[in-house]
């Protein structure tokens, strides 16, 4: 039983921010959760999937965030409480739905979790999604801790039903992936089937209807602003003529800075949790008696600009600063020491800044990096290798638009097979543009989950527009990067997974692709031959590289391969394996004349290298050892 | 480890702040160690914040986490501000020197895991002896030993995290009793790993009681 389904009211548990959100939704009686996995939001879906197998909670890993949001919107229109979770860039995908769903509104409460990623721990950008609240006109809550994340999730459902619009719960990686004490409330029962009540002249957004809906949205915003004015999530503490306004996890750094700098009695601290619409009266009243105010917020000057506008309207002369030279950056996540330094500097108080030790300087030599690498036994590496050798044999340079997933690590040497990446699905459409503009040999790579997420329209376009490139679909049967979530083409099912299997091959054919190869990348001769044929052809071609994620297959089956491989005496200095393949199980013995070796602990037994190097042989004459 | 001298009153001083930084390589169990510490602190009446890095854990990258106790709200630890560092791997323990100050207690595994650029001859792994000698001169105290070997001895090569937790609990630098950590380990460990985990914890504690493993400034 999921721990999120246990525990009595008042009990304190250590929960990840994402778990706190799920617990809050369960306490609010959420009936349906939809998501597309993406760090740092992935655990929300993972936990909800588990709970959906153990309770009557409905849950789906949708094909993308737009689909997830629309499925949730349909259910919310029938009175169900729904939660839709995604990473920040997922909201770009869902933005079309979001903007007009704000007009359509909801009947059951709807919470949309946008998990932003300052510092880009695992993202392609660090956009600040608080602007989506302003753009869509929807209310937004911003938790700073797991405890607040749970409380705000519960409150967001009620707020959504009161205002009849979705509510954004905007988090950052540091909130999603922090564990902290959470006080449990009572779990709520879920309602039975909802009912769709026809009301087309409020719910079908043709121009005449939408004109009226926009009026209602603005009225809901006014109501939301009034609620923000008295919200318990906006907390004022401290005293004095100076002020700090902050939101999110930056508020914890600001609070610690005041404690550690001894400024608690001299600075008034306003921690905002209800951050759209901004509570103009509360903020104006907060600013009025102050002489200078520092705004502590990660990423963009969202609060700062809002405060300056309010001060202008109220005719206040208070100095308001946040971003700028000597103050805060718009780049990357903050940390306690950084915030403490800026607070000290801004208010002109002394701070004993720690001078961090510099390990490389102390050792007087560089420390080796530890870059992430595709796993030993990864099918992506096998396909990359075959394609690389095929291009070398043909004497052709390949241009490699790539996509988002584990295989993006193909960027790193020695594979070096990633040249262009924007966002989910962009491999296929950018390949079309590059080949049309240059006539160069373009080979695009996309993963199976990403293909279903955003690849389909791009591939239909490529067929219809007669584009000329080779698309390699790296199908490992799961969404490996984010923790092995299923998708429509899934071949590795989590236990009990009820989804219908939609084979990629059938989809590709149905989209009108006539030149199609399907290979098992671990069969080297076949995949090399197919790669060469596909490279030599013209027009739109698709090569599906089909082999399960080794890591996940092993976890699901509980079985480990026993075959292991070793390097024989004949190994010379060709270094093909190190220069073109880069398996993490291979290493050179230390020393100048170091011999290549295979680490039996790391070797996965995939038997790929043995097919192209005569100096690698099975341990124990081809039989698996004990 | 349930001896009387290790028993401490609960909530000795829940306001006293303590910042613990854990660093290692994907697969070494740093996240589980920080979570167990957090759970033990919560059970003992503290208000722990535990932050984690996710995403690269399976792919050979560096995995760090933090445990912050006391009258602090921030889950993160800035450079130069860790009171205790648990280094799960020799090079990563040394890299974490940038989190240390001159009173930091650094508990480090001397066993190595070679990064890929070193494995293929593109970079050099620094001398472990040299690294620890220079470390010892910069931090308050260094407790270093081969935790990998002790994990093997316990019967579970993956129990480096339990060895280091055992060592930490035996140093007397935590406001939580060893018994509080042990009781969380008992409830969070699968039956078939429990005996080896408890053994690894005890071996780590024994390593911490061996003066030969310590270097103090």
Could B80 and A357 be called an inter-chain contact, meaning their C-beta atoms sit closer than 8 Å?
A: yes
The answer to whether position B7 is within a domain reads no
Which H/E stretch holds residue A142?
none
CA distances from A409 to A122, A152, A226, A284, B119 (A): 12, 37, 48, 49, 18
Over residues A181-219, the pLDDT tens digits come to: 999 999 999 999 999 999 999 999 999 999 999 999 999
Which pLDDT band, with edges at 50, 70 and 90, does A624 fall under?
very low
pLDDT higher than 60, residue A281: yes
For the domain that residue B62 is a member of, what is the CATH number? Answer: 3.40.920.10
Over residues A461-520, the pLDDT tens digits come to: 999 999 999 999 999 999 999 999 999 999 888 888 999 999 999 999 999 999 999 999
Q: Which of A434-443, A566-575, A591-600 has the highest mean pLDDT?
A: A434-443
Ordered DSSP codes for B96-161 = GGGGEEEEEEEEEE------HHHHTTSS-PPPHHHHHHHHHTTSSEEEEE-HHHHHHHHT-TTTHH
The answer to whether position B6 is within a domain reads no
Q: Which chain A residue shows the shortest CA-CA distance from B123?
A: A368
The pLDDT assigned to B56 comes to 58
Q: What does DSSP assign to residue A578?
A: I
Over residues A527-544, the pLDDT tens digits come to: 999 999 999 999 999 999
pLDDT higher than 80, residue A353: no
Which pLDDT band, with edges at 50, 70 and 90, does B132 fall under?
very high
Could B61 and A145 be called an inter-chain contact, meaning their C-beta atoms sit closer than 8 Å?
A: no
Our count of domains for chain B comes to: 1
**In chain A, which among 569-608 make CB contacts under 8 A with chain B?**
578, 582, 584, 586-588, 590, 594
**Beta carbon pairs, A and B, within 8 Å:** 169
Kindly tell me the sign of the dihedral angle through the C-alpha atoms of A414, A577, B122, B106.
positive
Which of these ranges, A331-345, A374-388, A466-480, B11-25, has the smallest mean pLDDT?
B11-25
Over residues A139-157, the pLDDT tens digits come to: 999 999 999 999 999 999 9
Looking at the complex, does the CB of residue A253 fall below 8 Å from at least one CB of chain B? yes
| Interface mutation target, options A246, A356, A357, chain B, most CBs of B under 10 Å | A357
CA distances from A516 to A224, A433, A454 (A): 54, 21, 20
Looking at the complex, does the CB of residue A38 fall below 8 Å from at least one CB of chain B? no
For residue A608, the distance in angstroms to the closest alpha carbon of chain B comes to 19
Mean predicted confidence (pLDDT) in A161-170: 98
Q: Among A135, A74, A149, which residue's Cα sits nearest to residue A108?
A: A74
* ipTM score assigned to the predicted complex: 0.95
Which H/E stretch holds residue A191?
none
Cα gap B11→B148, rounded to integer Å? 33
The answer to whether position B2 is within a domain reads no
Range of the domain at B189: 17-216
Q: Please list every residue in chain A whose beta carbon sits closer than 8 Å to the beta carbon of residue B96.
A: 359
Could B55 and A39 be called an inter-chain contact, meaning their C-beta atoms sit closer than 8 Å?
A: yes
Could A179 and B52 be called an inter-chain contact, meaning their C-beta atoms sit closer than 8 Å?
A: yes
Could B130 and A363 be called an inter-chain contact, meaning their C-beta atoms sit closer than 8 Å?
A: yes
Q: For chain A, which domains are there?
A: 3-229 (3.40.50.970), 235-347 (3.40.50.920), 379-556 (3.40.50.970), 565-618 (3.30.70)
The pLDDT assigned to B13 comes to 62
Cα gap A267→A293, rounded to integer Å? 9
For residue B142, the distance in angstroms to the closest alpha carbon of chain A comes to 15
The pLDDT assigned to A374 comes to 94
Contacts of A419 (CB under 8 A, 6+ apart): A399, A400, A401, A402
Contacts of A529 (CB under 8 A, 6+ apart): none
pLDDT higher than 80, residue A60: yes
The answer to whether position B5 is within a domain reads no
Mean predicted confidence (pLDDT) in A587-608: 89
Q: Please list every residue in chain B whose beta carbon sits closer than 8 Å to the beta carbon of residue A587.
A: 114, 119-120
SS3 readout for A243-304:
EEEEECCHHHHHHHHHHHCCCCCCEEEEEECEEECCCHHHHHHHHCCCCEEEEECCCCCHHH
The answer to whether position B54 is within a domain reads yes
Looking at the complex, does the CB of residue A188 fall below 8 Å from at least one CB of chain B? no
The pLDDT assigned to B16 comes to 81
Could A122 and B55 be called an inter-chain contact, meaning their C-beta atoms sit closer than 8 Å?
A: yes
CA distances from A526 to A138, A446, A492, B67 (A): 54, 20, 23, 51
Q: Please list every residue in chain B whose beta carbon sits closer than 8 Å to the beta carbon of residue A371.
A: 60-61, 115-117
| Interface mutation target, options B34, B61, B120, B138, chain A, most CBs of A under 10 Å | B120
The answer to whether position B198 is within a domain reads yes
CA distances from A261 to A222, A256, A290, A570 (A): 39, 8, 19, 67
Looking at the complex, does the CB of residue A256 fall below 8 Å from at least one CB of chain B? yes
DSSP helix/strand/coil, A528: helix
For residue B199, the distance in angstroms to the closest alpha carbon of chain A comes to 23
pLDDT higher than 70, residue B8: no
Could A121 and B60 be called an inter-chain contact, meaning their C-beta atoms sit closer than 8 Å?
A: no
Could A588 and B94 be called an inter-chain contact, meaning their C-beta atoms sit closer than 8 Å?
A: no
Could A174 and B51 be called an inter-chain contact, meaning their C-beta atoms sit closer than 8 Å?
A: yes
The answer to whether position B93 is within a domain reads yes
Could A354 and B101 be called an inter-chain contact, meaning their C-beta atoms sit closer than 8 Å?
A: yes
pLDDT higher than 90, residue A620: no
The answer to whether position B141 is within a domain reads yes
């Amino acid at each position: 039983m999921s721990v999120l389904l246990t525990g009595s009211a008042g009990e304190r548990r250590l929960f990840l921010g994402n778990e706190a959100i799920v617990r809050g939704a369960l306490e609010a009686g959420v009936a349906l959760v939809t998501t597309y996995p993406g760090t740092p939001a992935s655990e929300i879906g993972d936990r909800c999937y588990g709970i959906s197998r153990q309770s009557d909670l409905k849950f789906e890993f949708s094909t993308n965030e737009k689909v997830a949001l629309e499925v949730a919107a349909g259910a919310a229109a029938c009175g169900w409480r729904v939660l839709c979770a995604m990473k920040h860039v997922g909201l770009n995908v869902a933005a079309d739905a979001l903007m007009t769903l704000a007009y359509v509104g909801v009947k059951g409460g709807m919470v949309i979790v946008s998990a932003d990623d300052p510092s880009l721990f695992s993202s392609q950008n660090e956009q600040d999604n608080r602007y989506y609240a302003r753009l869509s006109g929807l209310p937004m809550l911003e938790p700073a801790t797991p405890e607040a994340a749970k409380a705000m999730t519960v409150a967001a459902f009620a707020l959504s039903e009161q205002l009849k619009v979705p509510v954004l719960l905007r988090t950052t990686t540091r909130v999603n992936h922090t564990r902290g004490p959470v006080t449990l409330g009572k779990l709520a029962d879920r309602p039975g089937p909802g009912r769709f009540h026809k009301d087309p002249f409020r719910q079908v957004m043709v121009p005449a209807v939408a004109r009226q809906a926009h009026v209602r949205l603005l009225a809901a915003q006014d109501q939301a602003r009034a609620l923000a004015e008295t919200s318990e999530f906006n907390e004022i503490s401290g005293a004095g003529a100076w002020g700090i306004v902050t939101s999110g996890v930056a508020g914890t750094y600001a609070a610690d800075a005041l404690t550690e700098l001894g400024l608690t009695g001299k600075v008034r601290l306003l921690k905002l949790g209800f951050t759209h619409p901004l509570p103009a009266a509360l903020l104006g009243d907060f600013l009025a008696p102050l002489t200078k105010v520092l705004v502590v917020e990660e990423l963009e000057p969202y609060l700062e600009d809002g405060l300056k506008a309010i001060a202008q309207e109220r005719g206040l002369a208070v100095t308001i600063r946040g971003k700028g030279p000597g103050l805060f950056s718009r780049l990357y996540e903050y940390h306690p020491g950084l915030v403490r330094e800026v607070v000290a500097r801004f208010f002109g108080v002394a701070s004993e800044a720690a001078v961090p030790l510099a390990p490389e300087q102390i050792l007087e030599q560089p420390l080796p990096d530890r870059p992430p690498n595709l796993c030993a036994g990864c099918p992506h590496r096998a396909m990359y290798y075959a394609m690389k050798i095929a291009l070398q044999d043909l004497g052709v340079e390949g241009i490699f638009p790539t996509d988002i997933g584990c295989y993006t690590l193909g960027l790193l040497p020695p594979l070096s097979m990633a040249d262009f990446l924007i966002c989910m699905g962009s491999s296929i459409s950018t390949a079309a543009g590059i080949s049309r503009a240059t006539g160069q040999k373009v080979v695009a790579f996309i993963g199976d989950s990403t293909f279903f997420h955003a690849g389909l329209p791009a591939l239909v376009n490529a067929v219809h527009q007669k584009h000329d490139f080779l698309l390699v679909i790296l199908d490992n049967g799961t969404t490996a990067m984010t923790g092995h979530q299923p998708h429509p083409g899934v071949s590795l099912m989590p236990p009990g997974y009820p989804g219908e299997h939609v084979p990629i091959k059938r989809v590709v054919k149905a989209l009108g692709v006539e030149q199609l190869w399907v290979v098992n990348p671990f069969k080297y001769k076949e995949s090399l031959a197919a790669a060469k044929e596909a490279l030599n052809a013209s027009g739109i071609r698709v090569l599906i590289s089909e082999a399960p994620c080794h890591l996940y297959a092993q976890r699901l089956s509980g079985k480990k391969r026993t075959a292991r491989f070793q390097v024989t005496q004949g190994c010379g200095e060709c270094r093909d394996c190190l220069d073109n393949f880069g398996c993490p199980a291979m290493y050179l013995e230390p020393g100048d004349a170091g011999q290549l070796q295979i680490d039996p602990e790391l070797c996965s037994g995939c038997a790929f290298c043995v097919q192209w190097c005569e100096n690698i042989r099975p341990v124990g004459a081809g039989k698996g050892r004990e | 480890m349930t001896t009387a001298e290790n028993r401490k009153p609960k909530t000795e001083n829940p306001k006293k702040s303590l910042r613990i930084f854990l660093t290692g390589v994907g697969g070494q169990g740093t996240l589980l160690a920080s979570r167990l510490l957090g759970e033990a602190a919560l059970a003992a009446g503290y208000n722990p914040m535990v932050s984690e890095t996710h995403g690269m854990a399976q792919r050979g990258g560096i995995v760090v986490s933090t445990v912050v106790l006391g009258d602090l709200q921030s889950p993160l630890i800035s450079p130069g501000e860790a009171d205790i560092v648990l280094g799960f791997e020799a090079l990563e323990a040394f890299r974490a020197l940038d989190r240390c100050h001159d009173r930091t207690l650094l508990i480090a595994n001397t066993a190595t895991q070679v990064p890929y650029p070193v494995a293929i001859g593109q970079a050099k792994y620094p001398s472990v002896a040299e690294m620890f000698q220079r470390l010892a001169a910069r931090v308050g105290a260094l407790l270093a030993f081969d935790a990998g070997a002790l994990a093997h001895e316990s019967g579970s090569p993956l129990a480096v995290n339990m060895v280091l937790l055992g060592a930490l609990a035996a140093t007397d630098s935590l406001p939580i009793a060893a018994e509080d950590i042990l009781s969380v380990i008992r409830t969070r460990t699968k039956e078939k790993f429990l005996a080896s985990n408890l053994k690894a914890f005890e071996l780590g504690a024994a390593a911490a009681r061996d003066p030969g493993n310590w270097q103090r400034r």
